[in-house]
């Protein structure tokens, strides 16, 4: 089974998504969280850190796992687990595209994100619940 990890970076009421390049084997041209496959016996949290550095040049500082999603099309792509982490703080500057895996990187409101073709059908509810929880936490601090 393929094990993957992805980071949903959140800033205020926006999330960072990347559009997968059109030549990708899995889910070409759709919008996705930043992440990738675990290598060898790498733990998902270690994959998260490595992939964020490789793909957008930042190191996660504050994060937590918020979901483990199953592969939505196992007959086509094989069995997989996608460990999704919300990332609320990072180092090494502003996220920027590195490499050729993605063609676009954008900070999006919930409405903007939901209007895009997304890599996983579970993302819509995950984005809603994550941004909702973050908004409630900000209100409690006031």
For 78-106, how does the pLDDT look when each residue is reduced to its tens digit (9 = 90+)? 999 999 999 999 999 999 999 899 999 99
CATH code, residues 2-141: 3.90.79.10
pLDDT 10s digits, 6-65: 999 999 899 999 999 999 988 999 999 999 999 999 999 999 999 999 999 999 999 999
Residues in the chain: 142
CA 89: distance to chain centroid?
14
pLDDT at 5 over 90: yes
Which segments within the chain are labelled E, that is strand?
2-11, 14-20, 31-32, 34-37, 59-70, 80-91, 102-108
User: Which CA distances in Å does 90 have to 26, 52, 77, 141?
Assistant: 27, 10, 31, 21
Q: Domain coordinates of the chain in residue numbers?
A: 2-141
CA 25: distance to chain centroid?
18
pLDDT at 128 (0 to 100): 96
Can you read off the two tokens belonging to residue 142?
A: 């006031």
What pTM did the predictor assign? Answer: 0.95
pLDDT at 47 (0 to 100): 98
What whole-number distance in Å separates Cα of residue 118 and Cα of residue 17?
9
């Amino acid at each position: 089974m393929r094990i993957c990890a992805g980071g949903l970076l959140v800033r205020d009421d926006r999330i960072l998504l990347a559009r997968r390049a059109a030549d990708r084997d899995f889910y070409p041209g759709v919008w996705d969280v930043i992440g990738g496959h675990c290598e060898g016996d790498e733990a998902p949290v270690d994959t998260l850190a490595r992939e964020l550095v490789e793909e957008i040049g930042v190191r996660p500082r504050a994060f937590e796992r918020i979901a483990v999603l199953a592969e939505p099309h196992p007959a086509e792509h094989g069995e997989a687990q996608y460990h999704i982490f919300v990332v609320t703080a990072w180092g090494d500057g502003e996220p920027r595209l590195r490499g050729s895996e993605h063609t676009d990187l954008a900070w999006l409101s919930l409405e903007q994100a939901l209007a895009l073709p997304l890599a996983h059908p579970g993302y819509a509810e995950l984005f809603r619940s994550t941004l909702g929880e973050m908004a409630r936490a900000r209100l409690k601090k006031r």
